[in-house]
């Protein structure tokens, strides 16, 4: 107890020492709020000489104060922060390039830009911030944010997310924060270079294929290492025989294909093994795998990441209020914004709006589970169980009850992803608070069945279902390279391991097959496999019509 | 410490310019279709090129495949806010397969927003480019004329000039050359002294083959000054090390004198100024030359007689507008002059306002308009100075006995012109047979005799305007469609199976 008291004094002293240098002193946040600008001039007291440790912008002071609380009070380590204030136009740009500050050119980015722009025109709604998992971590903050919002956003992004990026095991395993900016710069430069050499259309075609496969091109050995590859030219240099034709021959006996071990990195496998691709294409494909790998953890930690960041902006802002650095008015504004962010409408909730005829109209507002709401509630719940466990909590979470909440939360942050986090930490109380229920829709059944609701019997079913909802194979189909018939027609067999009878989207998959065929240049088959049996397949090119059968048909036709 | 950057003032909105261009190029067909429709609607013709235009692009055209689940199978979901359900409840499925999964057969779901398509905002310039893309002006010639316009041309280098025109590379070269040149006489003197020393030392050397007589040595004589210098100083310093101790007193004195002279010369070499402003600096030189100006004049001839209805007025306006902007696109802003001639049975030159807005009544004679054209042409526009175009819009009415006169007038005009365009407007409640007219038959003969110079087309409704316009300007070898090499199927790829 005395130790934590001492720590507290340490961080308080740091804040006092810092703010003592400024004319506004302890009122610096409150005064900016009164002036209604985050561009509030921060002036040093007379006699204080400027130094690198004294931020010269108001946002810099906010970052520093939040940083003192995060680091010295709670021990949250982060990458260095860069805070960039941007306009709505620039925010749309940032959306478009998924936040990467450097990006190559591709028509699909113009499409995305157009989508975001149309959406923005319709709703007038943009994110308050975007943060990039890089070192230093770049947080883009909207210029339209009020001073209170900027405090919230900096606490949320520059400390919450930044700390999560740094310490969560998924990010540690799959990403290297200092690599992403150089990687995306290299990628852009290399693509420019290829465009000038080979024409942009040629490169564009390749990028189309890369984009199509990118969701399934995460490198399992995480940091992708380019393998040295041997590949053949199209024609034999001595005889001039087209080798592609040579490989279309029929095998004398059933061929034993190469077992590819269900390699899940499709683009990576093709880059390493496609028989005829030029080296520059392989290089671009491998770089695209690296980009895909970089984004991989974000898909699987959305609830945790947003929950963690929301928990910390909530905690830090409350600390600021306790220290009287912000006043009640600011706190009310904060609660309003925070409440909006972590709001979870129920499935039947509606909101009343004015209809086209001027009459009030009820419209449903439920749009799935809000990851901010679930994540925030779960981290808060961990703290509650540690500090004030009920008898029920003691039964379900003996390892949390009575423990140090900060340590327990850090443990959760470090070692889980959404799926396992929910499995491990969702409490019966939280389930009841959310009034969760699980339902099953089987396309073979005429009914939708309720599997369980928020009661004692339903708890395990609800928790299992909710956890599975964030499993990767639930989010997208499981695909792997199964076989490569390298001795005959060089066909490549890719298998989809079917899960819960879910089919592949046919319209998409037939195009995907064409894309893979364009890279592979030999037959490509995508099979859907359930219980070790092939249930359906798509191939490119389409199988040739059986010649004998065709002739027979023709003869039959002539006879008539 | 954290960095705070205010990026707001940086213009980043051009970040996706090139991606945007690529999108437009890739989906040229749908964009073109939308542009055609826009033009066909005939609204706000004057605003084209000034205002941005919303172009709807079908969702299908911007399709990007990805590996995703389709509908069907078993879907389990957790939802919040239970009010009425109990475990084991069986609910009938809502029609249309809502609630996260349906029959699985049916139509493919397209992930994401349920809108019908995208709305792409084309800027005025982009729209203009779309309209005039791939079109070529027949017989575009550069006609020079005496004009006051001049252009700056590079004309070598001079030794005088303002600092902004200084050429560093050239100056550096001339500096090096000067330094080399002024070193050479000094170096030659040094060599001479070294040779003297060498000869003295040589007298003491036992093996004369090792140190040959320089005057006889061909290799040495063939050397450049710099090579001689380095060979000589190497040789002499070797000799100096070896034989200095055995030299006679007189020779020592001579060698010392020579050495000090060489040192002095060496020093003077260093005294050569690094930069000599008077001689080293080079400046880029420019001179002014008159430029040939491309100028064009467009004669707009319009039938304003009673048979012309509102529709026809509108369509011909679009036609004139397109032609005018196309000429401007090709010759440059402000290089195209326009002469407006309105005619019924008589012709007169009018202002653009009158031309586009006034309709009169009465019959039609074409020849007076052509005669007026000829007069104005001879008076104001020399064929040597101008590229001359005539665009005539009419419903095809002409008094039958005027046709032969019309024909001979065109025969006189055509050689002076780049091209003659005739658009026959038959839109709305046109009188008579929409596929036949007096003028059409007459002109058809001229067209046959003057391919590539006389163009004619028929506009039956507004959306024909652009089609006719495109026909006029699509070069013969490109008639099979817009530029090759661009995927005309949009996002869907073209594959040629390789078996």
A453 Cβ partners below 8 Å, 6+ apart?
A436, A437, A438, A462, B82, B85, B86, B87
As a whole number of angstroms, the distance between CA A382 and CA A307 comes to 12
Tokens of A166: 């740094």
Looking at the predicted structure, is the pLDDT value of residue B480 above 70?
no
Nearest C-alpha in B relative to A102? B15
Report CB contact under 8 Å: A59, B74: no
For residue A199, CA distances in Å to A521, B356, B484 come to: 21, 46, 15
Read off the pLDDT band of B490 (50, 70, 90).
very low
Mean pLDDT of A359-377: 92
Tokens of B305: 């007689």
Q: Which chain A residues have a beta carbon less than 8 Å from that of B75?
A: 440-442, 500, 502
Shortest Cα–Cα distance, B416 to chain A (Å): 43
Domain boundaries defined on chain B? 16-64+113-133, 168-270, 296-478
Instruction: Evaluate whether B307 touches B431 at the Cβ level (below 8 Å).
Output: yes
As a whole number of angstroms, the distance between CA A109 and CA A103 comes to 10
Window A:154-173, CB contacts with B under 8 Å: 158
Looking at the predicted structure, is the pLDDT value of residue A388 above 70?
yes
At residue B205, the pLDDT reads 78
pTM score > 0.90 for this model?
A: no
Average per-residue pLDDT for chain B: 76
Give A514-556 pLDDT, tens digit per residue: 999 999 999 999 999 999 899 999 998 887 666 666 666 666 6
Report CB contact under 8 Å: B4, A85: yes
- Percentage of the residues of chain A whose pLDDT score is greater than 90: 63
The DSSP output letter for A220 is T
Backbone angles phi, psi at B279, to 5 degrees: -110, -30
The Cα angle at residue A158 between residues A156 and A160, in degrees rounded to 5: 45
Mean pLDDT of A423-438: 96
The candidate with the shortest Cα–Cα distance to B325, out of B103, B124, B177, B188, is B124
Residue A441 at interface with chain B, using a CB cutoff of 8 Å:
yes
Looking at the predicted structure, is the pLDDT value of residue B149 above 80?
no
Q: Does the bond joining A136 to the residue before it have cis omega, within 30 degrees of 0?
A: yes
3-state secondary structure of B79: strand
Q: Which chain A residues have a beta carbon less than 8 Å from that of B60?
A: none
At residue A519, the pLDDT reads 94
The shares of helix, strand and coil residues in chain A, as percent rounded to the nearest 5, are 55, 15, 35
Range of the domain at A75: 2-167
Instruction: Evaluate whether A495 touches A477 at the Cβ level (below 8 Å).
Output: no
Q: For domain B296-478, which CATH number applies: 3.40.50.410, 1.10.3720.10, 3.90.950.10, 3.40.640.10? A: 3.40.50.410
Read off the pLDDT band of A227 (50, 70, 90).
very low
How many domains does chain A fold into? Answer: 1
Mean pLDDT of B8-37: 73
Nearest to B80 among A90, A93, A369 (CB): A369
Tokens of A467: 């956890």
**b/e for A125-157, b at 16 or more Cβ within 10 A?**
ebebbbbbbbbbbbbbbbbebbbbbbbbbbbbb
In a domain, A22, yes or no: yes
In a domain, A151, yes or no: yes
Which comes out higher in pLDDT, residue A56 or B315? A56
Report CB contact under 8 Å: B7, A90: yes
At residue B481, the pLDDT reads 38
Cross-strand partners of A44: A22
The shares of helix, strand and coil residues in chain B, as percent rounded to the nearest 5, are 45, 15, 40
Report CB contact under 8 Å: A110, B90: no
Mean pLDDT of B247-276: 82
- Mean pLDDT check: name the lowest of A272-276, A333-337, B436-440: B436-440
The DSSP output letter for B288 is E
Q: Please, which contacts does B85-88 make with residues 24 or more away whose CB atoms are closer than 8 Å?
A: B85/A437, B85/A439, B85/A450, B85/A453, B86/A450, B86/A453, B87/A450, B87/A451, B87/A452, B87/A453, B87/A455, B87/A457, B87/A458, B87/A461, B88/A449, B88/A450
Looking at the predicted structure, is the pLDDT value of residue A228 above 50?
no
Report CB contact under 8 Å: B81, A105: no
The DSSP output letter for A390 is -
Looking at the predicted structure, is the pLDDT value of residue B449 above 50?
yes
At residue A134, the pLDDT reads 92
Backbone angles phi, psi at B53, to 5 degrees: -125, 135
In a domain, A390, yes or no: no
Q: Are strands A360-364 and A350-354 parallel, antiparallel or unpaired?
A: antiparallel
Q: Does the bond joining A322 to the residue before it have cis omega, within 30 degrees of 0?
A: no
At residue B110, the pLDDT reads 39
Between the two ends of chain B, the Cα-to-Cα distance in Å is 62
At residue A80, the pLDDT reads 95
Nearest to A449 among B25, B90, B499 (CB): B90
Nearest to A514 among B108, B493, B499 (CB): B493
**b/e for A455-475, b at 16 or more Cβ within 10 A?**
eeebbebbbbbbbbbbeeebe
For residue A80, CA distances in Å to A53, A77, A183, A200, A305 come to: 14, 9, 19, 37, 18
Which comes out higher in pLDDT, residue B108 or B157? B157
Give A173-189 pLDDT, tens digit per residue: 888 888 899 999 999 99
- Mean pLDDT check: name the lowest of A31-40, A334-343, B371-380, B477-486: B477-486
Looking at the predicted structure, is the pLDDT value of residue B386 above 60?
yes
Instruction: Evaluate whether A152 touches A320 at the Cβ level (below 8 Å).
Output: no
Looking at the predicted structure, is the pLDDT value of residue A273 above 80?
yes
Average per-residue pLDDT for chain A: 88
At residue A200, the pLDDT reads 85
As a whole number of angstroms, the distance between CA A191 and CA A180 comes to 16
In a domain, A74, yes or no: yes
The candidate with the shortest Cα–Cα distance to B294, out of B342, B327, B252, B249, is B327
Give A311-325 pLDDT, tens digit per residue: 999 999 999 999 999
At residue A25, the pLDDT reads 93
Residue A208 at interface with chain B, using a CB cutoff of 8 Å:
yes
In a domain, A141, yes or no: yes
- Helix count (H) and strand count (E) of chain B? 13, 13
Looking at the predicted structure, is the pLDDT value of residue A234 above 50?
yes
Give B269-325 pLDDT, tens digit per residue: 777 777 777 777 888 777 776 555 577 888 999 888 888 888 888 888 888 888 888
B11 Cβ partners below 8 Å, 6+ apart?
none
Looking at the predicted structure, is the pLDDT value of residue B326 above 80?
yes
Residue A468 at interface with chain B, using a CB cutoff of 8 Å:
yes
Between the two ends of chain A, the Cα-to-Cα distance in Å is 100
As a whole number of angstroms, the distance between CA B102 and CA B89 comes to 19
At residue B157, the pLDDT reads 79
Read off the pLDDT band of A469 (50, 70, 90).
very high
The candidate with the shortest Cα–Cα distance to B418, out of B396, B450, B393, B440, is B450
Give B409-418 pLDDT, tens digit per residue: 888 888 888 8
Find which of B77, B89, B97, B486 to mutate to test the A interface (most A CBs within 10 Å of its CB).
B77
As a whole number of angstroms, the distance between CA B314 and CA B46 comes to 12
Nearest to A85 among B2, B8, B495 (CB): B8
- Percentage of the residues of chain B whose pLDDT score is greater than 70: 81
As a whole number of angstroms, the distance between CA A374 and CA A467 comes to 12
Read off the pLDDT band of B453 (50, 70, 90).
confident
Q: Which chain B residues have a beta carbon less than 8 Å from that of A265?
A: none
For residue A363, CA distances in Å to A238, A350, A368, A439, B3 come to: 73, 5, 15, 23, 44
Residue B15 at interface with chain A, using a CB cutoff of 8 Å:
yes
Read off the pLDDT band of B112 (50, 70, 90).
very low
Cross-strand partners of B364: none
Q: What is the largest CA-CA distance in chain B?
A: 128
- Mean pLDDT check: name the lowest of A44-58, A256-270, A355-369, B101-115: B101-115
Report CB contact under 8 Å: A215, B70: no
Looking at the predicted structure, is the pLDDT value of residue B104 above 60?
no
Tokens of B433: 């047979």
Looking at the predicted structure, is the pLDDT value of residue A2 above 60?
no
The candidate with the shortest Cα–Cα distance to A540, out of B497, B493, B68, is B497
* Ramachandran bin of B401, using left for φ above 0, alpha for ψ from -120 to 50, beta for the remaining angles: alpha
Give A324-344 pLDDT, tens digit per residue: 999 999 999 999 999 999 999
Give B332-378 pLDDT, tens digit per residue: 777 888 899 998 888 889 888 888 877 788 788 888 999 999 899 88
As a whole number of angstroms, the distance between CA B406 and CA B371 comes to 9
At residue A283, the pLDDT reads 92
Report CB contact under 8 Å: A508, B68: yes
Nearest C-alpha in B relative to A90? B12
Report CB contact under 8 Å: A479, B69: no
Q: Which helix (H) or strand (E) is B340 found in, with range? A: strand B336-343
The 10 Å Cβ neighbour count of residue B330 is 18
Residue A87 at interface with chain B, using a CB cutoff of 8 Å:
yes
Q: Which chain A residues have a beta carbon less than 8 Å from that of B126?
A: none
B238 Cβ partners below 8 Å, 6+ apart?
none
The candidate with the shortest Cα–Cα distance to A317, out of A343, A344, A336, is A336
3-state secondary structure A464-506: HHHHHHCCHHHHCCEEEEEEECCCCCCCEEEEEECCCCCCECH
Tokens of A367: 């749009």
The DSSP output letter for B292 is P
At residue B388, the pLDDT reads 87
């Amino acid at each position: 107890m005395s130790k934590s008291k001492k720590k507290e004094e340490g961080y308080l002293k740091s804040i006092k020492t810092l703010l003592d240098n400024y004319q506004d002193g302890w009122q610096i946040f409150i005064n900016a709020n009164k002036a209604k600008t985050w561009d509030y001039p921060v002036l040093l007291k007379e006699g204080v000489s400027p130094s690198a440790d004294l931020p010269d912008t108001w946002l810099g002071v906010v970052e520093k104060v939040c940083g003192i609380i995060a680091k010295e009070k709670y021990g949250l380590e982060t990458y260095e922060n860069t805070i960039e204030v941007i306009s709505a136009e620039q925010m749309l740009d940032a959306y478009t390039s998924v936040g990467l500050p450097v990006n190559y050119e591709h028509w699909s980015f113009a499409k995305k830009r157009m989508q975001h722009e149309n959406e923005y025109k319709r709703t007038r709604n943009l994110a308050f911030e975007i943060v990039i998992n890089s070192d230093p971590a770049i947080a883009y903050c909207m210029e339209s944010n009020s001073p209170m919002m900027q405090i919230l956003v900096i606490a949320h992004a520059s400390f919450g997310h930044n700390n999560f990026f740094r310490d969560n095991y998924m990010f540690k395993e799959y990403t290297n924060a200092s690599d992403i900016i150089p990687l995306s710069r290299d990628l852009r430069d290399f693509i420019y270079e290829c465009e000038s050499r080979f024409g942009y259309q040629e490169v564009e075609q390749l990028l189309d294929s890369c984009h199509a496969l990118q969701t399934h091109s995460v490198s399992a050995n995480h940091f992708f290492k380019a393998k040295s590859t041997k590949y053949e030219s199209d024609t034999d240099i001595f005889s001039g025989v087209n080798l592609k034709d040579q490989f279309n021959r029929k095998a004398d006996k059933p061929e034993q294909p190469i077992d590819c071990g269900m390699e899940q990195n499709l683009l990576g496998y093709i880059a390493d093994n496609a028989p005829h691709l030029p080296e520059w294409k392989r290089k671009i494909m491998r770089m695209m795998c690296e980009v895909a790998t970089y984004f991989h953890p974000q898909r699987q930690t959305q609830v945790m990441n947003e929950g963690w960041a929301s928990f910390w902006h909530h905690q830090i802002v409350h600390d600021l209020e306790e220290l009287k650095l912000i006043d009640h008015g600011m706190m009310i504004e904060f609660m309003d914004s925070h409440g909006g962010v972590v709001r979870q409408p129920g499935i039947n909730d509606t909101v009343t709006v004015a209809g086209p005829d001027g009459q009030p109209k009820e419209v449903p507002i439920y749009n799935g589970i809000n990851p901010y709401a679930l994540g925030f509630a779960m981290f808060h719940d961990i703290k509650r169980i540690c500090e004030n466990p009920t008898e029920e909590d003691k039964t379900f979470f003996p390892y949390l009850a009575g423990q140090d909440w900060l340590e327990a939360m850090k443990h959760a942050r470090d070692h889980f992803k959404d799926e396992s986090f929910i499995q491990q930490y969702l409490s019966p109380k939280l389930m009841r608070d959310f009034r969760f229920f699980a339902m099953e829709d089987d396309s073979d059944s005429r009914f939708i069945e309720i599997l369980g609701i928020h009661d004692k019997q339903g708890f395990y079913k609800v928790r299992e279902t909710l956890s599975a909802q964030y499993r990767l194979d639930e989010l997208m189909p499981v695909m792997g390279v199964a076989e490569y018939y390298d001795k005959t027609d060089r066909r490549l067999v890719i298998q989809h391991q079917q899960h819960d009878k879910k089919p592949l989207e046919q319209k998409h998959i037939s195009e995907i097959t064409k894309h893979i065929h364009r890279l592979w240049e030999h037959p490509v088959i995508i099979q859907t496999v359930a219980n070790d049996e092939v249930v359906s397949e798509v191939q490119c090119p389409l199988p040739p019509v059986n010649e004998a059968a065709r002739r027979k048909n023709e003869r039959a036709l002539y006879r008539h | 410490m954290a960095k705070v950057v205010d990026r707001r003032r940086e213009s980043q909105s051009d970040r996706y310019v090139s991606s945007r261009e690529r999108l437009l190029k890739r989906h040229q067909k749908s964009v073109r279709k939308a542009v055609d429709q826009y033009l066909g609607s005939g609204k706000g013709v004057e605003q084209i090129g000034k205002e941005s235009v919303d172009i709807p692009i079908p969702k299908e055209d911007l399709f990007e495949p990805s590996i995703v689940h389709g509908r069907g199978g078993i879907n389990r979901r957790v939802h919040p806010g239970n009010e009425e359900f109990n475990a084991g409840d069986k609910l009938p499925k809502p029609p249309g397969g809502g609630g996260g999964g349906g029959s699985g057969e049916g139509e493919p779901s397209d992930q994401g927003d349920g809108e019908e398509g995208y709305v792409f905002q084309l800027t005025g310039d982009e729209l203009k480019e779309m309209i005039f893309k791939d079109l070529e002006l027949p017989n575009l010639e550069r006609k020079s004329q005496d004009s006051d316009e001049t252009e700056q041309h590079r004309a070598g280098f001079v030794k005088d000039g303002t600092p902004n025109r200084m050429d560093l590379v050239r100056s550096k070269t001339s500096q090096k050359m000067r330094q080399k040149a002024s070193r050479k006489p000094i170096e030659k003197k040094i060599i001479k002294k070294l040779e003297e020393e060498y000869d003295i030392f040589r007298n003491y050397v036992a093996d004369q083959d090792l140190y040959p007589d320089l005057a006889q040595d061909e290799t040495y004589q063939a050397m450049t000054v710099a090579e001689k210098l380095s060979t000589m100083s190497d040789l002499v310093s070797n000799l100096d090390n070896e034989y200095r101790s055995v030299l006679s007193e007189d020779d020592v004195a001579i060698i010392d004198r020579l050495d000090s002279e060489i040192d002095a010369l060496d020093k003077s070499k260093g005294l050569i100024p690094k930069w000599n402003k008077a001689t080293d600096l080079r400046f880029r030189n420019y001179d002014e030359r008159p430029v040939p100006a491309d100028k064009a004049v467009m004669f707009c001839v319009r039938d304003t007689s009673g048979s012309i209805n509102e529709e026809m007025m509108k369509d011909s306006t679009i036609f004139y507008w397109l032609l005018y902007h196309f000429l401007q696109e090709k010759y440059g802003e402000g290089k195209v002059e326009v002469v407006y001639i309105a005619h019924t049975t008589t012709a007169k030159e009018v202002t653009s306002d009158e031309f586009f807005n006034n309709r009169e009544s009465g019959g039609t004679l074409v020849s007076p308009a052509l005669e007026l054209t000829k007069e104005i042409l001879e008076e104001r526009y020399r064929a040597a100075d101008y590229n001359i175009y005539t665009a005539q819009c009419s419903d095809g009415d002409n008094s039958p006995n005027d046709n032969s006169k019309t024909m001979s007038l065109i025969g006189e005009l055509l050689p002076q012109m780049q091209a003659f365009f005739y658009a026959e407007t038959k839109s709305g409640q046109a009188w008579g047979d929409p596929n036949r007219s007096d003028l059409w038959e007459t002109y058809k003969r001229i067209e046959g005799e003057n391919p590539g110079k006389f163009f004619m087309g028929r506009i039956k409704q507004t959306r024909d305007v652009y089609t006719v316009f495109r026909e006029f300007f699509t070069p013969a070898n490109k008639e099979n469609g817009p530029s090759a090499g661009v995927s005309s199927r949009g996002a869907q790829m073209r594959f040629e199976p390789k078996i």
